[in-house]
Amino acid sequence: MARATDQAEAKPGFLTRLTQDHARVFFFSLGKLVNAPGNALFTAAVIGIALALPASLQLAVNNFQRLSYSWQGSVQMSLFLKGTVDEARGRDLATELSKYGSVKSTQYLSREQSAAEFREFSGFGEALDLLDANPLPAVIVVTPLPGRNAAQMAELSGMLSALPEVELAQLDQHWLERLDAILRILQRVGLLVGALLSVAVLVIVGNTLRLDVEARREEIEVMKLIGAPDSFVRRPFLYGGCWLGLLGGWFALLLLTLGLFVIDRPAQELAALYGSSFRISGPTTSTVLGIVAGGVVLGWLGAWWTVAKHLSAIQPR
Amino acid sequence: MNNTLIQFSQVSHRYPGGAGDVLSDVNFELEAGEMAFLTGASGAGKSTLLRLIALLARAHRGQVVVAGTNLAHVKSAKVAAYRRQVGMIFQNFNLLYDRSVFDNVALPLVIRGHAHLDIARKVRAALDTVGLLHRERSMPLTLSGGEQQRVGIARAVVTKPMLLLADEPTGNLDPEMAWDVMKLFERFNDVGVSVLVATHAIDLVERLGKRVIHLEAGRVTDKRPVAASRVSLAEAH
Ligand SMILES: Nc1ncnc2c1ncn2[C@@H]1O[C@H](COP(=O)(O)OP(=O)(O)OP(=O)(O)O)[C@@H](O)[C@H]1O
Ligand SMILES: [Mg+2]
């Protein structure tokens, strides 16, 4: 169809037009939000809670992991010496070992000292008295340097247990391994909760925008009447979804900050009781960006999902 | 370019759930650059016929060809692009009531991606043509029915479409305004726009002396409409 009148005037290029329209919709949808924030804020709060839950779980896991690393160094190792090793050799060995790279200090406990400790701490002291001879071996307690990771600890323990004088090297870190395993499970749970709540966010955004589409049905009809393409009609709603997600992400960060603020003091006190200077660390920059970007992406997806479904159902009469 | 712009061939239409055919066996042509009136009693099918041209409905039987395109072959994804070539003025205005007069008239240009300055200039020109330049900041609901009608007209002409469809565009206007609007359509027609106006304003139709397509119960007839002022007279005969 010829439109001589229109061809004379050049329209802006495709990219300019697209940018121009996106800028328009950006401010239009933002304006809508600012003018009628009630419903959107409520939705954003729900999204925020849904995002904050998995994020705080992740944060907890990260902190426990840091904690368990810092504990790893304070783990002690007990070297049970063979019966054939006499006290002088044992003391020499302890001194030798204390010069090792990853070892902070060593302490030699003779068989008598072992027995005394057993009597004092185990509560089974009388059992020893029933025996003719002291059955306990001499022990070297090895304290590694702090800040060793699990692999370095394993290497050290392997080397120590290979010593000819050593009957058995026992690392007191089984509970740390257990903690690690629990943390790994928690991490998985976090992912699962995250996935489920992401679906929840999609549904929340979808529902809010469905109501929005319903409320603006006449407007949509009019736009279609005068030839607006679907992409044009859809765009404000997609932006609306992004705004909801962005607000929700911010809200989640706010909740996390509040939570950290509340927990920080008692956690510090608890750490102080154990003589540790451990401080809870907040979310990293990438976590913060992840939460916000996740909110925006989920908002956009939720909007796309609903709007695609409901817009085509609206046809001008 | 003296060819056929709109061609109806044996077109019948019925609404789903409707009693019977609203249009039956309609045949007519509109030349490119022609202006014609569509008349007929209320319920004769004028709005329906315009809706078929604007692809707001698809003909049940027969062919509607516009500018060489058989509308039955326009895929639903292409309907919006097709509609952008047609300027339509609606019986019930169909304005956006949460946006200013200016924004309403600007909408077709925004959809087409015109530059901002360009939009402002064209919108003001269109509003000036319908005498509403001073109301550009008003909201449609603060306007009278006739003024809203004129906003709808400005919105339809702002893109300078090659075809203008108007459904009862003077229904809410005082006689003087109605005449001005009809003259406005004639001016558009003078610069090459094809115009099809459904109307009950028979006296204006007669004064303009353009072709009349008269519908009676969904059929095109050779009968001529009777002006309101002479209805009782005609019945007396
Ligand atoms: N959406 C619809 N569903 C069912 N029937 C309809 C629908 N729209 C119109 N009709 C019927 O189609 C017939 C023609 O309607 P149409 O609106 O085309 O008449 P018209 O000539 O424009 O009348 P008016 O001068 O009052 O505007 C009427 O009998 C009407 O009842
Ligand atoms: Mg009608």
Tell me the chain A residues in contact with residue B86 when contact means C-beta distances shorter than 8 Å. Answer: 227
Q: How far is CA B174 from CA A102, B170, B177, B207, in A?
A: 99, 8, 5, 16
Give CA B15 to chain center in angstroms.
20
Taking the C-alpha atoms of residue B28 and residue B38, their distance in angstroms, rounded to an integer, is 11
Distance CA A149, CA A69 (A): 6
Residue B99: which of B91, B90, B108, B87 has the closest Cα? B108
pTM of the entire predicted model: 0.76
B1 and A2 in contact by Cβ < 8 A? yes
Q: Which residues surround ligand 2, an ion (CB under 5 A)?
A: B 47
- Which position has the higher pLDDT, A34 or A205? A205
User: What does the pLDDT read at residue B108?
Assistant: 95
| Average pLDDT score, chain B | 91
Asked whether B52 lines ligand 1 (CB < 6 A), one says: no
The minimum-distance atom of ligand 1 relative to the CA of B51 is 18
pLDDT at B167: 94
Looking at residue A69, what is its pLDDT?
Answer: 67
Q: Where a domain ends, among A127, A145, A172?
A: A172
- Average pLDDT, integer, range B70-93: 93
Q: Does A17 contact chain B (CB < 8 Å)?
A: yes
* Residue A285 within a domain: yes
Let me know whether A294 and A232 are in one domain. yes
pLDDT attached to residue A170: 79
Q: Is residue A13 part of a domain?
A: no
**Band of the pLDDT at A166, cuts 50, 70, 90?**
confident
Strand A166-171 vs strand B23-31: parallel, antiparallel, or unpaired?
unpaired
Q: Does any domain span residue A65?
A: yes
Query: According to the model, what pLDDT value does residue B54 have?
Result: 94
Please tell me the least confidently modeled range out of A222-226, A263-267, B60-64: A263-267
* Residues A80 and A136 occupy one common structural domain: yes
* Alpha-carbon span B132 to A109, nearest angstrom: 102
Smallest Cβ–Cβ distance between B111 and the set A3, A5, A232 belongs to A232
Q: Is the CB of B42 under 6 A from ligand 1?
A: yes
What mean pLDDT is reported for chain A?
Answer: 83
Position B237 scores a pLDDT of 55
Q: In chain B, pLDDT over 90 holds for what percent of residues?
A: 75
Task: Give the span between the Cα atoms of B112 and A231, in whole angstroms.
Answer: 12
Q: Is the pLDDT of residue A142 over 70?
A: yes
Give the pLDDT confidence score for residue A6 in this predicted structure.
44
Residues A289, A192 share a domain? yes
CA A191 to chain CA mean position, Å = 9
Smallest CA–CA distance, residue B14 to chain A, in Å, is 14
Q: Which of A218, A214, A209 is nearest to A305 (CA)?
A: A209
What is the arithmetic mean of pLDDT over B136-162?
Answer: 93
Q: What is the pLDDT of residues A185-203, one digit of tens each?
A: 988 998 999 999 999 999 9
pLDDT in tens, B189-217: 999 999 999 999 999 999 999 999 999 98
CA angle A112, A114, A116 (to 5 degrees): 70
Using a 6 Å cutoff on CB, does residue B152 contact ligand 1? no
pLDDT at A40 exceeding the cut of 90:
no
Structure token pair of residue B132: 């509403």
CA of B97 to the centre of ligand 1 (A): 25
Q: pLDDT category, A255, cuts 50, 70, 90?
A: very high
CB contact under 8 A, A2 and B111: no
Higher pLDDT among residues A279 and B20, named by residue: B20
Closest CA to B82 of B71, B91, B93, B92: B71
Within an 8 Å CB–CB cutoff, is residue A7 touching chain B?
no
Give the span between the Cα atoms of A230 and B25, in whole angstroms. Answer: 34
- Counting runs of H as helices and runs of E as strands, what totals does chain B give? 8, 10
Asked whether residue A196 falls in the same domain as residue A136, the answer is no
The winner for highest mean pLDDT among A12-21, A281-290, B155-164 is B155-164
Which amino acid, residue A132?
D
Confidence check: pLDDT of B171 > 90: no
Structural domains counted in chain A: 2
Contact in structure between A206 and A309 (CB atoms under 8 Å): no
A191 and A296 assigned to the same domain:
yes
Is residue A316 in a domain? no
Between A281 and B138, whose confidence is greater? B138
A20 CB near a chain B CB, below 8 Å?
A: yes
Of residues B22 and A11, the one with the higher pLDDT is B22
Residue A152 within a domain: yes
Coil, helix or strand for A74?
coil
Give the number of the atom of ligand 1 that is nearest the alpha carbon of residue B17: 4
Q: Which residues of B touch A229 (CB under 8 A)?
A: 80-81, 111
* One domain, residues A40 and A187: yes
Stated as kind and residue range, the H or E segment containing B211 is: strand B211-216
Cβ within 8 Å, pair A24-B110: yes
Interchain contact, A1 vs B110, CB within 8 Å? no
pLDDT of A63 over the 80 cut: yes
For A25, the closest chain B residue by CA position comes to: B110
Q: Return the closest-CA partner of residue B152 out of B112, B193, B186, B107.
A: B107
* Dihedral sign from CA coordinates of A141, A142, A146, A148: negative
Same domain, A272 and A215: yes
Question: Residue B22: CB within 6 Å of ligand 1?
Answer: yes
Last residue of a domain, one of A172, A200, A216: A172
Domain residues for the domain of A166 are: 76-172
**Which residues of B make CB contacts under 8 Å with A?**
1, 54, 56, 67, 77, 80-86, 88, 90, 94-98, 107-108, 110-116, 118, 155, 159-162, 191-192
Q: In which region does residue B129 sit, left (phi positive, over 0), alpha (psi from -120 to 50) or beta (all else)?
A: alpha
pLDDT at position B232 is 62
Identify whether the C-beta of residue A137 lies closer than 8 Å to the C-beta of residue A114.
yes
Q: Are B44 and B215 in contact (CB under 8 A)?
A: yes
**Ligand 1 contacts CB of residue B18 (under 6 A):** yes
Query: Chain B contact for A229, CB < 8 A?
Result: yes
Residue A106 phi/psi, 5° resolution?
A: -135, 160
Could you tell me which chain B residue has the CA closest to the CA of A230? Answer: B80
Per-residue pLDDT, averaged over A134-159, amounts to 79
Q: Is residue A66 part of a domain?
A: yes
Distance CA(A152)–CA(A96), nearest Å, equals: 19
In the prediction, which pLDDT does B26 show? 94
Question: A238-250, pLDDT tens digit by residue?
Answer: 999 999 999 999 9
Q: pLDDT at position B200, please?
A: 92
Q: CB distance A221–B113 less than 8 Å?
A: no
- B25: its two tokens: 């066996």
Q: What is the DSSP letter of B19?
A: S
For A82-101, b/e burial (b = at least 16 CB within 10 A) is eeebeeeebeebbeebbeee
The residue with greater pLDDT, A113 or A289, is A289
For residue B39, report the distance from its CA to the centre of ligand 1, in Å: 14
Residue B88: predicted pLDDT: 94
Q: Is the pLDDT of residue B234 over 70?
A: no
Q: What is the pLDDT of residue A2?
A: 42
Question: For A205-230, how does the pLDDT look when each residue is reduced to its tens digit (9 = 90+)?
Answer: 999 899 989 988 988 999 999 999 99
B220's tokens: 């095109």
Map tokens 């304006």 to a residue: A31
Q: How confident is the model at residue A148 (pLDDT cuts 50, 70, 90)?
A: low
Taking a C-beta distance cutoff of 8 angstroms, is the pair B102, B136 a contact?
yes
Give me the interface pTM, i.e. the ipTM.
Answer: 0.88
Q: What are phi and psi of A206, to 5 degrees?
A: -60, -45
Task: Return the pLDDT at A258.
Answer: 93
Cα–Cα distance for residue pair A249/A205, rounded to 1 Å = 13
pLDDT of residue A62: 85
Domain B1-78+162-169+196-237, second-level architecture: 3-Layer(aba) Sandwich (3.40)
What single DSSP character describes residue A286?
A: H
Tokens of A220: 């949509």
Q: What is the pLDDT of residue A10?
A: 57
A24 in reach of chain B (CB within 8 A)? yes
Asked if A274 and A258 sit in the same domain, the reply is: yes
Inform me whether the pLDDT recorded for B1 exceeds 50.
no
Single-letter amino acid code for the residue at B189: N
Output the six-digit token pair for B205: 């139709």
Is A2 close to B155, i.e. CB distance below 8 A?
Answer: no
Say which range, A128-132, A253-257, B43-47, B203-207, has the weakest mean pLDDT.
Answer: A128-132
> Which one of the ligands is nearest to B39 CA?
1
Cβ within 8 Å, pair B107-A232:
no
CB A78 within 8 A of CB A169: yes
Total Cβ atoms within 10 A of residue B176: 8
A80 in the same domain as A31 = no
Instruction: Provide the pLDDT for residue B236.
Output: 52
Same domain, A117 and A166: yes
Nearest to A12 among B54, B82, B113 (CB): B113
Overall average pLDDT of the B75-92 stretch: 92
Q: Residue B15: CB within 6 Å of ligand 1?
A: yes
Of the three residues A125, A149, A172, the one that is the final residue of a domain is: A172
Q: Where are the alpha helices (DSSP H) in chain B?
A: 46-53, 79-83, 101-112, 116-129, 145-157, 175-190, 202-208, 231-236
Residue B97 in contact with ligand 1 by CB distance below 6 A: no
In chain A, which ranges are continuous DSSP H helix?
A: 4-7, 14-35, 37-72, 87-97, 111-122, 125-130, 150-161, 174-215, 217-225, 230-273, 285-311
Distance B201 CA to ligand 2 centre (A): 13
For residue A195, count CB atoms less than 10 angstroms from its CB and return exposed for 0-12, middle for 13-18, buried for 19 or more: exposed
Residue A31 confidence (pLDDT): 84
User: A4 falls in which pLDDT band (50, 70, 90)?
Assistant: very low
Tell me which chain B residues have a C-beta less than 8 angstroms from the C-beta of A231: none
The region of weakest confidence among A60-64, A250-254, B102-106, B226-230 is: B226-230
Q: Region B126-146: what's the mean pLDDT?
A: 93
Is A298 within a domain? yes
pLDDT of A3 above 70:
no
Residue A215 zone, left/alpha/beta (φ > 0; ψ -120 to 50; rest): alpha
Whether residues A221 and A156 fall in one domain: no
Neighbour tally for A175: CB within 10 Å: 11
pLDDT of residue A5 exceeding 70, the answer is: no
Distances, alpha carbon A271 to alpha carbons A65, A176, A258, A295, B153, in Å = 15, 17, 20, 34, 75
Same domain for A42 and A149?
no
User: Between A115 and B110, whose confidence is greater?
Assistant: B110
A18 belongs to a structural domain: no
Q: Of A172-181, A221-230, A289-298, B160-169, where does mean pLDDT reach its minimum?
A: A172-181
Q: Ligand 1 pocket, B47 CB below 6 A?
A: yes
What average pLDDT does the segment B128-133 reach?
A: 92
